[in-house]
Amino acid sequence: MKHELPKLGYEYSALEPFIDAATMEIHHSKHHATYVAKLNEALDKHPELYDKSLEDLLASLDIVPEDISVPIRNHGGGHFNHSLFWTMLKKDKEPLGIESFLQPDFSSLDDFKAKFIAAGISHFGSGWVWLVRDKDRKLKIITLPNQDAPISLGLTPILGLDLWEHAYYLKFQNRRAEYIENWWQVINWEEVLRRLEM
């Protein structure tokens, strides 16, 4: 089955004023839609791979056919990352119950926040900053370039933030730090907690 653009489950304006409706609409209906279209375009060359889940493809990039491994990494990664990203956004959620999961890897929620934001600000160019869990169930903050997905590195994503300029330039221009502070106000902590509990 061909991959499809998932519905947001909320209005483009739902995260105003922290993330503006115009950015959300272009980000979802243009950028994310293009990743889906280009992923399908690549898989059309090897339609048997439509039977595999996106997670399986991204987790085994080294064994997918060489002629489409780069498009799967970029566009499949883009589809995967953005599909997650939309579920991690919601207004008026409090980080209830989060802190106990962050310890001992982080001393407190504030410690985690400071490190996550610093990593997001200092990442050079396009990419993502993630809270991930490794195979030993240790939590860590990483940044990845482009649309590389944590699952390609065997890491389980818990929380991710898109650092591409397309995610913030309309409203914040070059002010990435301001974008990240605003994004912090619309984290869907219920979804983060659900992922921490898995």
Binding stretches for Mn ion (CB under 5 A): 162, 164, 167
Task: Give me the least distance between CB of 127 and Mn ion, in Å please.
Answer: 10
Is the CB of 3 or the CB of 102 nearer to Mn ion?
3
CA 141-88-98 angle, 5° bins: 60
> How far separated are the first and last CA of the chain, in Å rounded?
28
Task: Give me the least distance between CB of 129 and Mn ion, in Å please.
Answer: 13
* Separation of alpha carbons 13 and 48, rounded Å: 39
Bridge partners of 143? 129
- For residue 144, what is the enclosing H or E element? strand 139-145
Is the CB of 27 or the CB of 133 nearer to Mn ion?
27
Cis check for the bond before 104: say yes or no (omega within 30 of 0). Answer: yes
The alpha carbon of residue 121 and the mean position of all alpha carbons in its chain are separated, in whole angstroms, by 16
Task: Give me the least distance between CB of 164 and Mn ion, in Å please.
Answer: 5
Task: Give me the least distance between CB of 97 and Mn ion, in Å please.
Answer: 28
- For residue 6, what is the enclosing H or E element? none
Is the CB of 71 or the CB of 106 nearer to Mn ion?
71
Sign, CA dihedral 179-34-160-10, equals positive
CA 118-14-169 angle, 5° bins: 45
Task: Give me the least distance between CB of 62 and Mn ion, in Å please.
Answer: 25
Is the CB of 148 or the CB of 162 nearer to Mn ion?
162
